[in-house]
Structure 1
């Protein structure tokens, strides 16, 4: 299926979700390897979205399901969060949500909600919480896939990217860029074996070469072994964020209901 056909299919599935669930999709984007910049030719499409229900849904004493999931096919996975759930996670500096908002591949943004959240991102971002999120991701993938002499070599990307994200946070104190290439170019010295191993592996993955079990990459492995304890020490030294933005997020929620459904408050 061509890229245009896939995009049309995604648009159609989002429209169907709106009709079947009686919601409005505020924002939809690509997440995962395609958005990070290291897809292979057979990479899945991981579509993530934020939606809002009708105002009366939020007034019930019963808590409704706040996630919509549509595993469409082996190639296409679509899921989204209700706006109120998303705002609750946003106030905790949830890195996946912050990444969605800066995704380079956007499928829908008919309302202003995403822009309002981007405008608050510097206040919402917590370096400490985000570093621990990425460290947890890196350690989990390293422990699961990269032990022994023979390793699942494509999983290096799923350890390197969160490590580089941590390094970015440590150096610049801000949300890291989504693109893997930008992280590599800004943070890894170009004159070393590490940089060449990473670039070579990236070119192999993008070319569609099957990356399965191979001998481990020694320079990359040594870098990971060195970075994980160092980054954890630096993460512990950071102060927790203390910039309450609850009132601003309440306003984002109300303005979304007004913009989408024409809500009029007394």
Structure 2
């Protein structure tokens, strides 16, 4: 089953009406954006929204996310702009991935592009590397132990490990697309050939089940997890603080969306 863009847009518009918000940006954030969806993969739609000015002028802390139950392959939720900007200043990798998703669904107003332009300055190599390393270790421990493994889970360990390699080499946010990471990070080798074969099968719609582990990939992952556990301690910790800029950007967004 596939969803067309009109259906996704209609759901975003319905959220705007029900919640009284304006959606600034929406994108695909899951396996479809990574380049290896399954036949039954959800559409993982993530968005950033802003509420009317009076909502922010309160002494009370309010809920700053909007979530909807998964329905008809659509997994959709979003963050308030203020929450997003606070996470952005901490170099939050999921948010940074949203901003460069290869599958955007909606982008209105100027604020999203302004945030993108700040990304190279606020990016923290260390916190981002720890994020991807934690993801890789968890999936490796849970799915890739033993002589027979869930083959499709290799993608969920390889992608974050390749992201760590990108960060070490370039000191910047890695691309979302798995194929780009493979092509730009790995040299031609038996390892790359095995990964390319897996990716070809995945793109052809092969449903992976339990299969014998691929030793060359397992060995690579074990080695790189151990390596990045040490490397992450030495890599640059912080990007530049942009607090005043982000404050001004938030106010400008409110004026642009709701008027002065």
Cα deviation 1:193-225 (Å, max 9, x = unaligned): 111110111111111111121111111101001
Correspondence for 1:236: 233
The answer to whether the aligner puts 1:202 opposite 2:202 as a matched pair is no
Counterpart pick for 1:109 among 87, 107, 110? 107
Q: Pick which of 47-56 and 237-246 moved more.
A: 237-246
SS of 1:39 mapped into structure 2: coil
Q: How do residues 213-228 of structure 1 correspond to structure 2 at under 5 angstroms?
A: 213-228=210-225
| 1:149 Cα offset (Å) | 1.0
Cα distance in 2 for residues equivalent to 1:212 and 1:256: 48
| 1:74 Cα offset (Å) | 4.8
Cα deviation 1:42-91 (Å, max 9, x = unaligned): 22110000000000000111111111011241511000000000001000
Correspondence for 1:96: 94
Q: Is the 8 A contact 1:31 1:100 kept in 2?
A: yes
Correspondence for 1:39: 37
Cα distance in 1 for residues equivalent to 2:239 and 2:93: 17
Cα distance in 2 for residues equivalent to 1:188 and 1:209: 24
Correspondence for 1:56: 54
Cα deviation 1:114-171 (Å, max 9, x = unaligned): 1000000011100011000000000011111111111111111110000000000001
The answer to whether the aligner puts 1:71 opposite 2:46 as a matched pair is no
- Deviating runs (4+, > 3 A) in structure 1? none
Q: Is the 8 A contact 1:41 1:206 kept in 2?
A: no
Q: Pick which of 63-72 and 26-35 moved more.
A: 63-72
Correspondence for 2:133: 135
| 1:188 Cα offset (Å) | 1.1
The answer to whether the aligner puts 1:256 opposite 2:253 as a matched pair is yes
Cα distance in 2 for residues equivalent to 1:125 and 1:137: 19
Correspondence for 1:149: 147
TM-score for the superposition, normalised by structure 1: 0.95
| 1:175 Cα offset (Å) | 0.8
Cα distance in 2 for residues equivalent to 1:24 and 1:187: 39
Q: Which runs of 5+ in 1 are unaligned?
A: none
SS of 2:59 mapped into structure 1: coil
Cα distance in 2 for residues equivalent to 1:72 and 1:230: 38
Aligned alpha-carbon RMSD (Å): 1.1
SS of 1:235 mapped into structure 2: helix
| 1:242 Cα offset (Å) | 4.8
Q: Pick which of 205-214 and 10-19 moved more.
A: 205-214
Q: Is the 8 A contact 2:122 2:239 kept in 1?
A: no
Correspondence for 1:246: 243
How many residues are treated as equivalent by the alignment?
A: 260
Correspondence for 1:121: 119
Q: Is the 8 A contact 1:47 1:77 kept in 2?
A: yes
Q: Is the 8 A contact 1:41 1:207 kept in 2?
A: no
Q: Is the 8 A contact 1:42 1:208 kept in 2?
A: no
Q: Is the 8 A contact 1:27 1:114 kept in 2?
A: yes
